[in-house]
């Protein structure tokens, strides 16, 4: 959830302090790993990237996990992120998510080209450079295209993802599961609750959260939940538009889940009425949508609590307590 200023974003998704992470339906080839050299980034750009010269390397600010640069060449520009302390697996997970969204041919995302290790330590990812437009994306178009992605991106394996990834810097588990309520309870809410207990000794939020997980099934009565490809971390810093005004989404924490879970960061996304109207024209609203809204906010409030501390605890425990009263448990 990090915004890069002015150009492309694409930092690992990290919650914004201003807002006080096996594809199922296709068999995809693995991303090629770069060989070690003095500068594997430049090596790839000047060979497989089909450039004959790099004319400029300029930093793109805004990320707090990775370094980001634009490599300008005679074959066009490339966006490059590097991290000196983390191996290629983090960028591999990001690339798989970007590629899955890209293949739906619905909403625009940067196409990943190459990942690999740096010379001494760390890793890199090279991807398409997208020039941003002057304004944020049209809400109506964004809603429609996001719904089209959810409708197109399906999984035959159930809920989960081929790899674990990160939500901010928090590990996000994505083991395949055939039951959404179990998946969301164990691998989303349960995982975050356990982190809060381990990190802060917060047995109160853990115990109340576990009561909610064990009793939340009535919130899903009379609906059919299909595994949809989700961006997973859709807040304002990860939404922009290209120079033609088309929506672009960045920095995913992808998995296949209930489409409503995509709105879990809506408290920091600025979705308006035109967004939801256009979305529901493609993906109709299901019974009980409003009752489940806060349940999907809860995952992200818990993650913010675990990343940034007690400022987010009250929001998380308030949601839990409201549901316990609603469910009378």
Token digits of residue 223: 């609906």
CB count in 10 Å sphere of residue 40: 20
- Is residue 214 within 8 A of residue 327, CB to CB? The reply is no
Token digits of residue 316: 């998380």
- Please identify which of the residues 233, 251, 321, 322 carries the catalytic annotation: 233
Q: What backbone phi and psi angles, to 5 degrees, belong to 153? A: -90, 95
33 burial via Cβ count (<10 Å: 0-12, 13-18, 19+): middle
Token digits of residue 233: 């971390």
Active site includes 233? yes
Distances (CA, A) of 205 to 169, 196, 197, 264, 306: 21, 8, 8, 19, 12
Beta partners for residue 127, in sequence order = 79, 112
Nearest to 162 by CA among 262, 252, 260, 27: 27
- In DSSP notation, 29-41 reads PPPPBPPP-S-HH
Positions marked active-site = 233
């Amino acid at each position: 959830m990090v915004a890069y200023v002015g150009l492309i974003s694409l930092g690992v998704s990290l919650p914004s302090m201003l807002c006080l992470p096996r594809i199922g339906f296709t068999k995809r080839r693995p991303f090629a790993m770069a060989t070690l050299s003095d500068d594997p980034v430049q090596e790839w750009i000047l060979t497989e990237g089909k450039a004959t010269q790099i004319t400029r390397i300029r930093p793109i600010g805004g990320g707090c996990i990775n370094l980001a640069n634009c490599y300008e060449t005679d074959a066009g520009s490339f966006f490059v992120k590097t991290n000196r302390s983390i191996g290629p697996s983090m960028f591999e997970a990001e690339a798989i998510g970007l590629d899955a969204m890209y293949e739906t041919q619905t909403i625009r995302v940067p196409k990943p080209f190459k990942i690999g290790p740096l010379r001494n330590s760390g890793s890199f990812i090279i991807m398409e450079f997208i020039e941003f437009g002057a304004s944020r994306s049209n809400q109506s178009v964004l809603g429609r295209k996001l719904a089209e992605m959810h409708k197109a991106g399906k999984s035959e394996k159930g809920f989960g993802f081929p790899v674990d990834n990160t939500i901010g810097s928090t590990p996000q588990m994505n083991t395949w599961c055939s039951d959404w309520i179990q998946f969301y309870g164990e691998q989303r809410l349960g995982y975050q609750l356990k982190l809060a207990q381990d990190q802060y000794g917060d047995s109160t939020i853990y115990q109340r959260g576990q009561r909610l997980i064990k009793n939340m099934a009535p919130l899903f009565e009379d609906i059919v939940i299909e595994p949809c490809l989700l961006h997973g971390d859709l807040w304002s810093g990860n939404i922009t538009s290209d120079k033609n005004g088309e929506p672009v989404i960045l920095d995913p924490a992808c998995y296949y889940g209930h489409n409503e879970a995509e709105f879990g960061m809506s408290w920091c996304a600025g979705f308006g009425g035109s967004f939801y109207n256009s979305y529901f024209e493609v993906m109709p609203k299901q019974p009980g949508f409003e009752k489940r809204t806060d349940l999907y906010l809860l995952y992200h409030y818990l993650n913010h609590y675990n990343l940034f501390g007690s400022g987010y605890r009250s929001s998380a425990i308030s949601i839990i307590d409201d549901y316990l009263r609603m469910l009378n448990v």
